[in-house]
Amino acid sequence: MRTIAIALAATLLAGSACADEQVIKLKQAPGLDKVENNCAACHSLAYIPMNSVFLNAAAWDAEVTKMRKAFGAPIDDADAKVIADYLKKNYGT
């Protein structure tokens, strides 16, 4: 019985923590759908505006390549190009 009570309390606490999470709205532009569908599958979209102050066009290309090659993100070549173009045009330094 005690285990059930602990599990229930943990579930309730986790639910309230998620309720405070901010919704990230990225810039509306061509390619946003590819970014939302591919990038958000693995991490928060908050990383995009958070890192935009540091990344230029070449760095965004490198980030997309890293996600695919080093981390194994299942993004095809066409989508990777669209994603990189979106990031460079809307979040590059």
**pLDDT tens digit sequence for 1-54:** 666 656 555 665 555 445 566 788 999 999 999 999 999 999 999 999 998 999
Give the domains, in start order, of the chain with CATH numbers: 22-91 (1.10.760.10)
What is the structure's pLDDT at 24?
83
What is the structure's pLDDT at 13?
57
| pTM for this entry | 0.75
Residue 22 and residue 46 in contact, taking contact as beta carbons nearer than 8 Å: yes
**Count H helices, E strands: the chain?**
5, 0
What is the structure's pLDDT at 15?
53
